[in-house]
Structure 1
Amino acid sequence: MTAVDGSREESERQLRPPNICLMLAEGRGLFEFNSSLLLLPLLMRAPRGDGHPVLTLPGFLASDLSMAPMRRYLKALGYDTYAWSFGRNVRGLSRMRGSLRDLLRRISDSTGRKVSVIGWSLGGVYARDLALNAPEIVRSVITLGSPFAGDIRATNATQLYEALTGESVDDVPEVRQAIAGDMPVPTTSIYSRADGIVNWRTSVLRPSATAENIEVLLASHIGLGVNPAALWAVANRLAQAEGEFRHFDRSGPFAIAYPPPEQAQS
C-alpha cells in the first residue's frame, strides 16, 4: 500500500460524527418540507417518468410515511412507486437482506421491468446491497445521506443502531467493503455537508462514467428526502432512459443549491 493510500485510510478512520450544532439544526427539515409544498408547481416541471417501478427504502427508525411525499411526487411524474412495507426500519442489514431481495424480485416479476431503488440514510445502504446482489433487475440506485463509504461509524446514530438491531456496523467486513465499492448499475449519491446525523464524507462515492455525487447545499439529514432541490435531482436522475447515463446537469430552477462537483468532492 502506498503512503498516500495509507494516509487516506488513516483519515477515514478518524472521521467524527457531525457536531452538536449541526445535529440540533436538524429541525429545519420541517422548513424543507414546507418549501417543497410551496415550490410544487416548479417541481412538476421535472422530466416525466416512463412508468418504470421505483422502490423507496426509509432510513433508520423511519417508516414508509417518511418517504410518502417523495412517492406521491414521483407518482405524479408518471412512475410506478412502491413502499417497502416492513414497518419501522429497526432490524438491520443482516436481517433485512433476504426480505428485501424477495420484495425486489416480486416487483420486477409483477411489472416485467427493472426497478430503480431509492434509499434514504440506512435505506441507501440496503439499496446498494440490492444492486450488488441482483443487478439484473435493478435499473439504478439513488441514495440520500447514506453512510456507506470510509468510516461508517461517523454518524450520530451508530450506537443506537447497534443497540436496537443487535449487530455491529463492523460485522461482515467483506460486505461493508463491497457496498462501499463500485456498483454494477448507474448510481447517484445525494448528500449535504450540513447533515447533522451522518458525516457527509461517508456518503461520497468514487465518481465514474456511471456513478456521481450530488451535493445539496444546507440540506438537513431528516429533510433530505423532502428537500425541493433533492427531489428535483431524484426526478432528473430517474428520467434517464434505461441503459443510459449522463452526469447531472446542475442548471435549472434549483441550480443555486448544487455546488460544482469539484467542490462537492473536496
Structure 2
Amino acid sequence: MPSTSRAFRAPSLGLLAAEPLRALLDHVAARVAPRPSAIGDGHPVVVYPGLAGGPLATATLRQFLRHSGFQAHDWEGGVNTGPEGDFDAWLAPWAARVRALHEDTGRKVSLVGWSLGGIYAREIARREPRSVRQVITLACPFAAVVQGNHAGTVYRLLNRERARVPADMQARLRQPPPVPSSSIYSRSDGIVSWRACLEKATPASESIEVSASHLGMVSHPEVLRIVAERLAQPEGHWRPRAALQGLRPPS
C-alpha cells in the first residue's frame, strides 16, 4: 500500500476547475440519452446526495431509476450539510427510515450514495444489514475522508468544530459494509482522490471505473446505466460486474 500522502493526493487544480463544465455536459448527455429499459424488479432504492447537494442534485438519477423499474426515493434530508454532533447518533434516524421502508414494503432496500452520501449509505448498511439489499457509492472517498480531496474546505466551512473524524472511525469507514457493495469511481475526478474510492476486493464488493466528473456522477449516462444494471441483479444472487463481463478488476 503506498503512503497516505502519495496514495490519496488531491486531484489537480486543472481537474478541479473543469468540474462545472464537465458536469453540465454530463447532465445534457443524460437529458438526450434514450429512455432506460425497465429492468428493475420494483424494490425500493434510497438515494443520498453529496455534500451541499439536495433533492434537485439527484433528481436525474432518481428519475432514471424509476424509469428503469425501481422505487427510487430521495433521502428526505434536504441539503446535505454533513452530520451534526455524534455521527452514530445522527445516523440513527436515517437507519430507522430504511428499516421502516423494508418493513412497509416487505422488500430489502438498496442504497445509492454520492460522495459524502455514500458514507451514509455504507454505514446505514452496517447498522441495518437485514434491511439492506446492496450499496452503490458514486465517487465516495471512504478510504480517506479527511485528506486527498478538495471537499474538506467546504465541509469545514459548513461544520466548523464538527469537521474532525476520529482515527477509529476512519478505520471503520474503510471497511466494506456487510452487504454486496459497488464503488463507482473516476480517475479524472476533480474533487476527491480516485484511489480513496477503491473498495477492498472481497466476494461481495467491487470497484467500477468510469470516465466522469465528480459533480456529474449523478447524471453521467454511463454511470446511470451501471447503477441500474447493478440494482437489477436478483436478490441473493449478486455477482461482481467484472466476473459477469470477463473484465479485470482495477489495480
Correspondences of 1:131-146 after superposition (within 5 Å): 131-146=125-140
Query: 2:9 — aligned with what?
Result: 16
Q: Is the 8 A contact 1:142 1:234 kept in 2?
A: yes
**Count of residues paired in the alignment:** 245
2:241 aligned counterpart, secondary structure: coil
1:74 aligned counterpart, secondary structure: helix
Question: Shift of the alpha carbon at 1:96?
Answer: 3.7
Mapped pair 1:99 → 2:82: no
Q: Is the 8 A contact 1:13 1:151 kept in 2?
A: no
Q: Which runs of 5+ in 2 are unaligned?
A: none
- Give the TM-score normalised by the residue count of structure 1: 0.85
- Give the TM-score normalised by the residue count of structure 2: 0.90
Mapped pair 1:245 → 2:238: yes
Query: 1:82 — aligned with what?
Result: 73
Task: Say what the alpha-carbon RMSD is for the aligned residues.
Answer: 2.1
Question: Shift of the alpha carbon at 1:175?
Answer: 2.5
Question: Shift of the alpha carbon at 1:124?
Answer: 0.3
Question: Shift of the alpha carbon at 1:99?
Answer: 2.5
1:64 aligned counterpart, secondary structure: coil
Cα distance change of structure 1 residues 261 and 23 upon mapping to structure 2, 3 Å threshold: farther
Query: 2:47 — aligned with what?
Result: 56
Which of the numbers 9, 13, 18 marks the counterpart of 1:25? 18
Which of the numbers 111, 115, 125 marks the counterpart of 2:119? 125
1:179 aligned counterpart, secondary structure: helix
Quote the sequence identity (%).
Answer: 36
Question: Shift of the alpha carbon at 1:167?
Answer: 4.8
1:132 aligned counterpart, secondary structure: helix
| Dislocated runs of 4+, deviation >6 Å | none
Question: Shift of the alpha carbon at 1:170?
Answer: 4.6
Deviations, residues 237-264 of structure 1 (Å, cap 9, x unaligned): 0000111111215999xxxxxxx544xx
Q: Take 2:181 and 2:172, find their aligned partners in 1: how far apart are those partners?
A: 14
Which of the numbers 199, 202, 214 marks the counterpart of 2:208? 214
Question: Shift of the alpha carbon at 1:86?
Answer: 1.2
Q: Take 2:167 and 2:237, find their aligned partners in 1: how far apart are those partners?
A: 32
Aligned residue type for 2:231 = L
User: Which stretch shows the higher mean deviation, 122-131 or 158-167?
Assistant: 158-167
Cα distance change of structure 1 residues 163 and 142 upon mapping to structure 2, 3 Å threshold: same
2:190 aligned counterpart, secondary structure: coil
